[in-house]
Structure 1
Amino acid sequence: MGRVPLTLACGDYDRTWALRTGSVQIPGVALTYLPLKVEETFFRMVSYREFDVAELSLSTYLLTLSQETPPFVAIPVFPSRMFRHSGIYINTQSGISSPSDLSGKVVGVPEYQVTAAVWIRGILEEHYGVPVDSVRYRTGGLHETGRVEKFPLRPGTTTEIRPIGPEETLSQLLVDGEIDALYSPRTPQPFVDNHPNIARLFPDSGAQEADYFRSTGIFPIMHVVVIRREVYEANRWIARSLHNAFEESKRVAAADIDQTVALGFMLPWLHDEVARTRSIMGSNWWPYGVGENSTTLSTFLRYSFAQGLADRLWEPEQIFAPECLNEVRI
């Protein structure tokens, strides 16, 4: 019996390099790895189902579950995680100096549904007293015009959500003061260029994020890995085999992360940063699976439902392939 051919679209991450290079194999699978930017992967997977397996926004995946026959089945592998206090940008002339100042303001988001924005809105409401519907949202492309919601939102939300103009971008609107703030997973280029009109809401965002982890134990999950339903139904063993391979690839990356014989990344004090991360988050700060991520997942599922995105309040075990929920015991 030949190997099942699978095409995987995923970011070019250290934790997936071993899958991309083939040093970690998936038994029974002939893998083609396509390293794509996440926006392209998400658009092509949701719109055209182009890939057998793909990295996908956790938020968008939840929206697909509302369909009569959901097109994807997720496995509890999280190729992207990121604290998001650092993803809140303000116009320095907007009068915003603290989270409470966001109430009543106009805030840009690439899409209302993007996972980073769901986390930011939830964290601001739960930990800083900024109600989600106290802000007016404007959606559109960060650096390019024409971006729209990749999956339709549920009707009936009382939150004000409007698209920006067809020739406008969020980064330029923030520079010009046409929006007061921006919630963005991708860093706006004017901020990178040190434009004086743009700053982070939390200048000490790293310290804020470390405190958030200490108090909640949450390292926000951004993306999951999904399998096209027809691929999954044809060979359900693929779900567990993929999960195991992603785990092994992550283990390979973690094994040498703080080696000093030669730097794997262009960060001269990487070993110090690894030690600092371990001191705050422990040695297993990027776990896969449902069990060790139950608090993080439950929190996001609650935020998604409360913000009018998910059509029901899911439990973590309900949104993943059952083959990946339990360990094999010998």
Structure 2
Amino acid sequence: MARLPLTFACGDYDRTRALAEDTVRPDGIDLTYLRLPVEETFFRMMRHQEFEVAELSLSSYVLSLRTDPSPFVALPVFTSRMFRHGSLYCHADAGITEPEDLRGKRIGTPEFQLTACVWMRGILADRHDVPVDSVSYFTGGQETPGRVEKAGVDLPDSLSVARIPEDRTLAAMLAEGEIDALCTPRVPSPFVAGDPRVRRVFPDVVVAEKEYYAATGIFPIMHVVVIRRDVYDRHPWVAQSLYKALLTARDLAYENLYDTSALRFMLPWLTPQLEEARALLGRDYWSYGVAGNREPLTTFLRYHHEQGLSERLWQPEELFAPESLEAAVI
């Protein structure tokens, strides 16, 4: 019997590499793995639904649920997780010495609906007394002019969100003090270049993120894996098949990361850092599924709704293919 050919667009990750290298094969599927930058994958998937399977921003996926039927079905596979306190930058002369000082400021963001920015706006509101409607937001290209929201958003009138001029970039505006702060998944070029006019809002990111985890138990989820609706409707079995394969690939990455015979990545203290992460977050710190991720999923969905991006408050189980939430018991 012929295997079902599917194309999977995803980043170049250790946790999915076994699928890219064909050392793990999903049952019944002939998978073509496309290594693409996340921005390209998300744009092409949200605008044109080009791939049968793809990594997708959690925020963009939740936005897609507003259509009936929704264009995608997700798996509880989290290809990207990241603490995002390090994603907040400010102008050195903006009068921002602590996160609370962001109230009343002008904050840039490449897109309002970016998952990283949904997380940070929620964290600032929950933990630093910076309500979402207490600042002015400016959207546009970070390094290149002209970026637009990949998924249309209809935000409440209580929020002040404006486009920057078409010939300007957020990175330049931050360096020149035209905006006070920038929330972005990618490090802005002035910071990379060591421009003294730009610094992080949280000076010691690691301390801030460890304190956040100790207080909340949340390791933020950024991306999920989605199956295009037409593929899922014709072949519902692919959800379980892909989920099993992605779990196996992740487990191999766990195992390989702790191989001390030679460093897999160019980090001198990789092994002790891994051991510290396990001690702080648990051995299955990059967990898949809903059961071990209810708190981060519930929190994100609340933020998404509170920020006017979802018309209703979704529950975690509603996001995912039912087949991926159950497993046979032997």
TM-score by length of 1: 0.99
Looking at structure 2, the residues matched to 76 and 141 of structure 1 have their Cα atoms a distance apart, in angstroms, of 30
Asked if residue 55 in structure 1 is aligned to residue 55 in structure 2, the reply is yes
Given that 1:202 and 1:208 are in contact with CA atoms closer than 8 Å, whether structure 2 keeps it comes out as yes
Looking at structure 2, the residues matched to 48 and 212 of structure 1 have their Cα atoms a distance apart, in angstroms, of 37
Q: How far is 1:68 from its partner?
A: 2.2
Q: How far is 1:268 from its partner?
A: 1.1
SS, match of residue 266 in structure 1: coil
Q: Deviations over 1:105-136 (max 9, x none)?
A: 00000100000000000000001111000010
Q: Deviations over 1:6-31 (max 9, x none)?
A: 00000000101101000011111010
Calculate percent identity across the aligned residue pairs. 52
**Which one is further off, 222-231 or 157-166?**
157-166
Other-structure match for 2:103? 103
Looking at structure 2, the residues matched to 241 and 167 of structure 1 have their Cα atoms a distance apart, in angstroms, of 47
Q: How far is 1:260 from its partner?
A: 2.1
Other-structure match for 2:260? 260
Asked if residue 11 in structure 1 is aligned to residue 11 in structure 2, the reply is yes
Given that 2:73 and 2:232 are in contact with CA atoms closer than 8 Å, whether structure 1 keeps it comes out as yes
Aligned AA (1:83): F
SS, match of residue 249 in structure 2: helix
SS, match of residue 24 in structure 1: coil
Aligned AA (1:106): R
Q: How far is 1:156 from its partner?
A: 3.0
Q: Deviations over 1:187-232 (max 9, x none)?
A: 1121111111110001111111011111111000000001110000
Asked if residue 305 in structure 1 is aligned to residue 305 in structure 2, the reply is yes
Looking at structure 1, the residues matched to 92 and 214 of structure 2 have their Cα atoms a distance apart, in angstroms, of 30
Other-structure match for 2:92? 92
Quickly say closer, same or farther: Cα 1:155–1:270, change in 2 above 3 A. Answer: closer
Given that 1:8 and 1:33 are in contact with CA atoms closer than 8 Å, whether structure 2 keeps it comes out as yes
Aligned AA (1:246): L
Q: Deviations over 1:150-194 (max 9, x none)?
A: 111124341001111111111111001000000011111211111
Aligned residues: 330
Given that 2:59 and 2:113 are in contact with CA atoms closer than 8 Å, whether structure 1 keeps it comes out as yes
Given that 2:155 and 2:309 are in contact with CA atoms closer than 8 Å, whether structure 1 keeps it comes out as no
**Which one is further off, 236-245 or 252-261?**
252-261
- Structure 1 unaligned segments of length 5 or more: list them: none
Q: How far is 1:32 from its partner?
A: 0.4
SS, match of residue 214 in structure 2: helix
Given that 2:7 and 2:32 are in contact with CA atoms closer than 8 Å, whether structure 1 keeps it comes out as yes
Given that 1:7 and 1:52 are in contact with CA atoms closer than 8 Å, whether structure 2 keeps it comes out as yes
Asked if residue 239 in structure 1 is aligned to residue 239 in structure 2, the reply is yes
The 5-angstrom pairing of residues 23-42 of structure 1 reads 23-42=23-42
Aligned AA (1:163): R
Looking at structure 2, the residues matched to 218 and 248 of structure 1 have their Cα atoms a distance apart, in angstroms, of 24
Asked if residue 21 in structure 1 is aligned to residue 21 in structure 2, the reply is yes
Aligned AA (1:133): D
Other-structure match for 2:272? 272
Looking at structure 2, the residues matched to 291 and 108 of structure 1 have their Cα atoms a distance apart, in angstroms, of 35
Other-structure match for 1:182? 182
The 5-angstrom pairing of residues 78-227 of structure 1 reads 78-227=78-227
Given that 1:106 and 1:135 are in contact with CA atoms closer than 8 Å, whether structure 2 keeps it comes out as yes
Aligned AA (1:90): C
Q: How far is 1:250 from its partner?
A: 0.5
- Structure 2 unaligned segments of length 5 or more: list them: none
Looking at structure 2, the residues matched to 279 and 290 of structure 1 have their Cα atoms a distance apart, in angstroms, of 22
Other-structure match for 1:284? 284
Looking at structure 1, the residues matched to 327 and 92 of structure 2 have their Cα atoms a distance apart, in angstroms, of 51
Given that 1:157 and 1:308 are in contact with CA atoms closer than 8 Å, whether structure 2 keeps it comes out as no
